[in-house]
Amino acid sequence: MADLDFLTSLHTSTKRDYVQRVVEHDKAICAERAKEWGYDYWDGDRRYGFGGYSYDGRWLKVAEEMAAHYGLKAGDRILDIGCGKAFLLYELNQVVPGLEIAGIDISQYGIENAKEEVLPHLKVGNCTELPWPDEHFDFVFSLNTFHNLQNFELMAALMEMQRVGKENRYVCVESYRNESEKANLLYWQLTCETFYRPEEWQWFFDQAGYQGDSGFIYFE
């Protein structure tokens, strides 16, 4: 298992006022609204989530780096667990034409508002029960999704991710290395259910038998 960073440059391109997040609005109400995974989370006011999450090409560089690292080629089957509006799947198919893509997300709104080029390949569902057979995909990835699960759900999701993949897997989650990053994460997050240091995440990976790569997002 390797520790790989595909997302830091994208993550740090957004400026965040952590304290304002908790004093300007009722954080509990905002979190409850965000966890409905509907319009407010994706395209509503910033207090509820992304603040308008439209296609703007920001995932292209991530797609290029992931495709190069894992040697993706036409005909490979790839799965995005927690695909949201599936912008990264769209970009991967642009970078490597001919991929057999699939995505799953709990958000009906997110799936319905995906780009039309990828919409036929997406499913609404839960990552704890993936509707595909064993070793079906050449590459399985999940970005910024598994920290939204409770720990018993996390174990099931990791085991499912391991089950449906053949070899290459990558999971990225939000984490913290010190008390400052922990506070910033708590201030900023709306949907997280799990707050672990990298070594704790590794414990969960090991317990679930997950054998893929991993990466972490920090709120510095």
Does residue 96 come out as left (phi exceeding 0), alpha (psi in the -120 to 50 range) or beta?
beta
- As a whole number of Å, the CA-based R_g of the chain is 17
Q: How far apart are CA 65 and CA 159, in angstroms?
A: 26
DSSP string, 138-199: EEEEEES-GGGS-HHHHHHHHHHHHHHEEEEEEEEEE--SSHHHHHHHHHH-SS------HH
pLDDT tens per residue across all 220 residues of the chain: 789 999 988 888 888 888 888 888 999 999 999 999 999 999 999 999 999 988 999 999 999 999 999 999 999 999 999 999 999 999 999 999 999 999 999 999 999 999 999 999 999 999 999 999 999 999 999 999 999 999 999 999 999 999 999 989 999 999 999 999 999 999 999 999 998 999 999 999 999 999 999 999 999 9
pLDDT for position 66: 98
pLDDT for position 106: 98
pLDDT for position 130: 98
Q: What residue ranges define each of the domains in the chain, with the CATH number in brackets?
A: 8-14+57-217 (3.40.50.150)
Neighbour count for residue 15 (Cβ, 10 Å)? 5
